Amino acid sequence: MNTRQRMEALRTRQPTPVAAPAGMAMRTAPAASTLPSWPQRISFCPPGMQERGGECVSSVCVPRAHPLANVARNAELAEYERTVRARFDGIVPTLKEIAAQQHEAGFEQRAQRIARERLGFELPAEVLSDAWVATLDMRKLYGHSVLQTYHALAGEFTARWNGQAEAEAMLRFFIECGFHEVDISPCADGRLKGLLQFVLRLPHQSVHRRKSYAGALFDVELNVKHWTETELHRFREGVPTLSDAGTRYLKIAVYHFSSSDPQHEGCAAHGSDEKKAAQAALDRLAAFRTAIENGFCCGASVAALLIGVDTDNDAIKIHVPDANGEMSASCFVDNLNVYHQTADMAAPEAGWRLSAAIDEAARDAGRSAPEAGMRRLIERLLANNLSQIDYVCANHSGRYADIGHAERFINIGDGFDEVHLRNLAYFGHLYTIEEGAADMDVGIKIFSKLNVAHGLPIPIAIHFRYDEQVPGSRERAVARCRRVKAAVEARYPILAKEGLLFCGMTVQGKQPGRAQEEVLDIDTNSHGH
């Protein structure tokens, strides 16, 4: 990659198509009569990298075959990523073709046939039938297509994927490490949407509690409530371990940063300041531990872990707790360094070197080593992430093309479990718009640049889960969807009035494998996708 040429291209870009990296959408200039293709920022090498003959010679960008990488899993994920991206990238070309035929005879039937063949679903009939009177409402068609594409992918995932055995094996591993529950709170940034499936390589069913918050600033009180529920199940039912088993609740916070453009493409909630992001997450973890210890007797305690993710290449930093579970922002294992140190070693030697990196991080910081169970978990996460670094090297030349935001839609309410992919969606966890206003405002700001600036609406997927065992739970989830939708439109009235918000609503049962059910604006009946 040539930094100077790419940066010059960014400054002098003209309103003509620019070739995009393989597997990604092309970028075109906005025009009044057409829909722009998916916008993305071109990546560039970090400052200080050496170049020779116009090519980057940094080892970061060189594909490697790491001895500890899971080659078969990497191939599966590469095909999965290509499939998901291709489905979304097909939306704009398909809608452009349909738009060009809107005044021809038999348009409605032809448009639906094209949509079924290219996208896998039909378009809203009322929008097509109105095209002869006025211009075809491309904003509605675009918003509908983005959310329907996601729902179709989610349905396919649910129908064909059964990871229960893999999830159960991971749950047993967590318990062997001394943790009966793992609760993860990453930043809401869409670049962390693939955290479980890609970055950490954890089966999503093995992590029962995962909620994203802007800046990884999770709700301490809500997490105390989750801890209480978990411990009550242990006390009453012995699930997943007996109350006297000696295992603990593990809370993980995940912040992020950018090595390519650290002052602009890091976490917006912390001003792209990596140190502030790490410290803020550490402070939340400390507050959570203190709340449990102060609020409950009999030596109640929780374990905590802090992880940083370089969203340019998915390499992680794990902040190593000492023997008492205390962490420091300056004591961590940089897994990208481990990757390069071990890439040419035999597998046993690489595994030993990875383990030694944990001791070295603690010793260099003048701290004690972590207790055995935590150490074992850290080793597993580091090893898993080596596969992901290898994946990015092989499939993205060591660094993603879209180092900045390139999300497809905003997901608010409860998170979707079925489709995990980097930059797929910006997530805001909320039950009322007032409660999650800060997260929502960040999402709208991001999509004002990604979509609105190009005349595209902001697709918003409002999604809540309900408990099938609780009478009236589904009805309340449906009502919550409608209430949040009305509140979103009221908070951003100009966008709503101009058709630049497209809200879709779904609810879903909490039991594994439940399908998403569409919620209509007024009709209380809904159907699964």
> How would you classify the pairing of strands 302-310 and 501-509?
unpaired
CATH of the domain at 446: 3.30.1330.140
Report pTM.
0.85
Residue 67 · residue 350 · CB < 8 Å: yes
Q: Is the pLDDT assigned to residue 53 strictly greater than 60?
A: no
Same domain, yes or no: 511 and 464: yes
In a domain, residue 269? The reply is yes
CB 190 within 8 A of CB 425: yes
Residue 466 lies in a domain: yes
Does residue 435 fall inside a structural domain? yes
Query: Is 374 within the bounds of a domain?
Result: yes
Domain residues for 4? 1-61
| pLDDT of the residue at 526 | 41
Strands (E), 424-489: 425-429, 458-466
Provide the pLDDT for residue 61.
Answer: 56
Does 258 reside within a domain?
A: yes
Is residue 51's pLDDT more than 80?
Answer: no
Q: Look at residue 523 and tell me whether its pLDDT is greater than 70.
A: no
Report, as an integer, the average pLDDT of 327-354. Answer: 96
Residues 422 and 484 in one domain: yes
Q: What is the DSSP string of 18-66?
A: BPPPTTS--B---BTTB------PPP-PPTT--EETTEE--GGGS----
Q: Is the pLDDT of residue 59 over 90?
A: no
Looking at per-residue pLDDT, the higher value among 110 and 64 belongs to: 110
Active-site amino acid positions? 189
Residues 358 and 429 in one domain: no
Name every residue whose Cβ is closer than 8 Å to that of residue 125 and which is 6 or more positions away in sequence. 108, 112
In a domain, residue 443? The reply is yes
Among 13-27, 63-77, 123-137, 206-220, the minimum mean pLDDT is found in 13-27
Kindly state whether residues 340 and 484 are assigned to the same domain.
Answer: no
Say which residues have a Cβ less than 8 Å from residue 228's Cβ, sequence separation at least 6: none
Degrees to nearest 5, angle at CA 240 with 235 and 245: 65
Residues 307 and 388 in one domain: yes
pLDDT of 527 > 90? The answer is no
CA gap 278, 38 in Å, rounded: 31
Lowest mean pLDDT among 9-18, 109-118, 126-135, 245-254: 9-18
Which residues does 272 contact at the CB level (< 8 Å), separation at least 6?
A: 257, 258, 262, 263, 264, 265, 266
- Same domain, residue pair 389 and 462: no
| Count of structural domains within the chain | 3
Same domain, 452 and 306: no
Q: Which residue has the higher pLDDT, 303 or 415?
A: 303
pLDDT at 320 over 90: yes
